[in-house]
Structure formats: C-alpha cells, structure tokens
Structure 1
Amino acid sequence: MRVAVAGATGRTGGEVAREAAKRGHEVVSLSRTPEGDQHDIADLPAVLAEADALVDFTVPEATVEHAAAAADAGVPLVVGTTGFDEDGLAALRTAAEQTPVLKASNFAKGVQALRRVVRAGVAALPDYDVEVTETHHSGKRDAPSGTALTLLEDIEETRSDALERTYGREGTHERAPEEIGVHVRRAGTVRGEHEVLLAGDDEVLTLTHRAESRRVFAAGAVDAAEQLAGRDPGFYDFSEVL
C-alpha cells in the first residue's frame, strides 16, 4: 500500500509513518512544516492521486480540508484528530459519501475492549454513581479528551435515566444522583489514561486503560488504513475493522 500521513511531524503522526514503513508500506509523509524528505501539505492533492489511504492526525480545521481532498480523490481516510465541533463532524460525513472514512477518538485495541466492559458494567449496575477521569500530557489541547467523550456517550446510551455531566467540582453541595462527574488532568508526558469509576453502597468498581506508548495508537491507525482499502464509501467505526 501507498500510505499518505498528514501531520507527520506531530507526535502520533510520526509514529504512524514509522509503523506503516515497518510493515512494508510505502509512506508519503506530509506536514505544514516539512522536514527532510517530507512533503508540504499543499502537495496533498498530487500525493492522493497515487495513494491507497490517507491517515490524518492534525487539527480539526486542517482535517476538514484534507477530508474534502480525499473525497475528491476517492482515497480512504483514517482520522485520529479529536476536538471536532458539529460542523466538522458533518464535513467528515459529507466526505464519507464519496470515500470510506473512519474516525476514532482512540485507536488502542484495549480502549475498544474498555468500551465494551464499561457498557456491560453500567448496564449491570444501573443505580451506581459514575465518574470519568482522564489524564494526558501537558501539551494536549482538547479537554475532555475524545476518548473520554466517547466513554461518556457509551455510558449515557446505556443508562436509562437522564444524566448530567458535571465538569469538576467546587463549593459546598452534595452529589446529585443524576450526575456523571468528569475530571481532566494535564501533566508531564502522560500518553493517555482513562478511568471509569462505578460506586454503590460499600463497593467500588474501577475500569482503567493506560497507554504506555503512542505506538498503540499508530498500530491501530495503520490497521484501520489496511482494512479500509477497497471498502465502499461510508462512515466507519474502528470496532468494525478489528
């Protein structure tokens, strides 16, 4: 495969390029600030003319532009960018009408397993208090993380009662039964840690995933690119390609 990687000078984008090359794929790295043999992102349309897949770990505004280019070229698109607003997500779905698009908030296989376990736990313990905590490196810009938002959506879809997200706490008040506490920590070089806590009378269940390296995200993104090639246009979920 010929894999184009947008955002190759970034932390995860660089890992994606290395992972794809390690698997024997031909890699074309693109960046707004190209280094060495990397291509300028302005060359994207020409690169896509000969690419089998595009993997994008950039920022929402750039990803939307790249998605339109991938749609025009009919090249499958794997999106690891997070922090989209509703317009950005709509733009990705529009691109998916012309080419396969897979967007995931987290490409770690363990996170996909965590999502299944969280849904099962919440269903089995419908009256328990739920708290979600995520920790990332100090340079991460969107908060809560895309993975935390996905876990919150899983919880809200599983619980039958209406829940209200409470972001951190201050002041003096009791916890309301309908709350989901959401806590965000930014420190050091933490790759990514997500915890879902379920607590009832006299017992606590804690479900946690911790990424030790960005390589797990890169490996999952390349898995997705390999599986997406040759598929019909559409908006795919990462669990579908595992």
Structure 2
Amino acid sequence: MTRESSSATRVLVSGATGRMGRRVIEQAAARDDVRVVAGVSRELSGEIDGLPVEPANEFEVVLREYDPEVLVDFSVPEASQEFVADCAEANVACVVGTTGFAEDGEAVLREASERVSVLLASNFSRGIQALLRAVESAVSDLPGYDVEVTESHHRHKRDAPSGTANAILDRIESAGEFGGRVHGREGDALRESSEIGVHARRAGGIRGEHEILLANDHEELRLTHRAGSRAVFADGALDAAVWLAGRTPGWYDFSEVVAE
C-alpha cells in the first residue's frame, strides 16, 4: 500500500480497544491534521466505528499493509516493547503513552530511538507540563518544607505510583535535597524531615488526579491537577504524533511538543 498524498499524518493505534486507544481514535476523527489508518489489539480484531482493528500478533504485517508514519501506543509494557522494536525495523516513528516499564523495557525503546524517532510520555496533558514546571520552582523556593505527593486513578490502573507521579517525584528530587521516597505509612511511622511521602489511590472511574503538598509549621502550598476527560490525553498524544512525523531518529520528550 502506498501513502496517499495528504497533509494528514497517518497513524496506527496499538491498544486500540482499551480506554485510551478508543479515545485516541475518537479524537482523531474530529481533526484534519491526523488520520488513523488502523488499530491493533491483543484482545479482538474487526472494526471500531468502521476503522479496521487488526490482531497484535500480526503487527509486522499490519505495518506493511497500512504503511503508517507514526505509531501511537497505549497498550502494556511487554507488547509496547515488541511494537516499538518492529517499528524501528519498518522506519515508523513511535509515540508511547504506555506506563509501567521496567528499566530493561525502557532500554528497548531507547535502543529503537537510534533508528527512528521515539517519544515516551507518562502524561500528554499540557496542564501537567505546566504543573511540572511549577513544582520544580516551588520546591526550589521552599527549601526544608515537607513534601507529599498523592495520586488517584481508576480501579483498573495497574502501575502505582502512576507514571505522572514518578515524573513529578523526579522533578521534586532534582530541585531539592531529599533522603528518599516513602510509600504510604502504617503503624509507628514518624516522618523523617528529608523524605518525600508518596500515596497512590485507586477507585471508581477517576481519570487522573495529582496533588503536591508542601508544608512547614506555619503554612502549606498545594498544587493540584485534575483531568476531566481522557480527551486531553488523547489530543496531546495526537499532537505529539503530528509533531514527531518526519523527525530525525532520537529520543524526544512531550515538553518539546508543548514548547512549539
């Protein structure tokens, strides 16, 4: 199959039958700058609203048949690693929103970035990008304050803390001097002055909420982001796909997309 002459970026969606995959497909249908050519799923094949959904175990064949420019991946770490490796062979750029990678799993993605452009993000919200900058500034301006991070997601989310919470924690640690992360508390658990408290909650259909609390004996500062709809993440991933198409091989960050 040859690419059609169109300015719309041709996208393949893996994890197409999941919550985020379906939302990416829905959001793409309302845009002129991107077109989803097919979906891939480990669970079923057929169609979603007229869009072909192909089995994941035929991924290499799917790449040849639909000839996408960019993969948008919201699957699971094990599958994502295989998809990205195959995309590197086929010269297809990759936008990866899957979270929960082990170190060796992310290493597979970084290896692929030597051959194609790869953008891995735990969160595609522009608001979260602003929050990350604000957190770094607040921690730097408030040395010695206690810091606690709480995140809440739907009951089906597998990884904890969330990828976004880990990104926030990385920013906190880069901006101050801390002795480590403490996940939850139970029993005799006196707080150490240099620790960062981390709390993960899972309930109902919460789309995503992150709060950073900074406090001393006299005041507290709370920075909070709440996602009202998965559409914000889907549109961000599609923005990244359009931005990434045609880029030279390398490892990219969503902050670069937001900056332009």
Whether the 8 Å CA contact 1:9–1:34 is kept in 2: the answer is no
Structure 1 runs, 4 residues or longer, greater than 6 Å off: none
Give me the whole-angstrom Cα distance separating, in 2, the residues matched to 1:46 and 1:23.
27
Q: Tell me how far apart the structure 2 counterparts of residues 240 and 68 of structure 1 sit (CA, whole Å).
A: 23
Q: Which amino acid aligns with 2:62?
A: V
In the alignment, is the contact (CA less than 8 A) between 2:212 and 2:222 conserved in 1?
yes
2:252 equivalent to 1:236: yes
| Corresponding residue number in structure 1 for 2:113 | 96
- Work out which of the residue numbers 224, 228, 231 in structure 2 matches 1:208: 224
> In structure 2, what is the equivalent of residue 107 of structure 1?
124
My pick for the range that moved more, 111-120 or 15-24, is: 15-24
Match of 2:6 in 1: none
Count of matched residue positions in the alignment of Structure 1 and Structure 2 = 241
TM-score, length basis structure 1: 0.97
- TM-score, normalised by the number of residues in structure 2: 0.90
Task: For structure 2, list consecutive stretches of 5 or more residues without a partner in the other structure.
Answer: 1-8
Local SS of the residue matching 1:241: helix
In structure 2, how many angstroms separate the alpha carbons of the residues matched to 1:21 and 1:76?
21
In the alignment, structure 1 residue 142 sits paired with structure 2 residue 150: no
- For residues 38-187 of structure 1, the aligned pairs below 5 Å read 38-49=53-64, 50-159=67-176, 161-187=177-203
The reply to whether residue 34 of structure 1 matches residue 51 of structure 2 is: no
Say whether 1:8 aligns with 2:16. Answer: yes
* Percent of aligned positions that are identical: 56
Structure 1 residue 43, shift from structure 2 partner = 3.2
Q: Is the 8 A contact 1:156 1:163 kept in 2?
A: no
What is residue 20 of structure 1 aligned with on the other side? 28
Give the letter for the 1:170 counterpart: E
- What are the Cα deviations for residues 39-82 of structure 1, in whole angstroms up to 9, with x where unaligned? 11233223323111100000000000001011001111000000
SS at 2:24's partner residue?
A: helix
SS of aligned partner of 2:225: strand
- Any stretches of 5+ residues in structure 1 without a counterpart? none
Shift of 1:172: 2.1
Write the distance in 2 (CA, Å) between the matches of 1:109 and 1:219.
10
**For the aligned residues, what is the CA RMSD?**
1.0
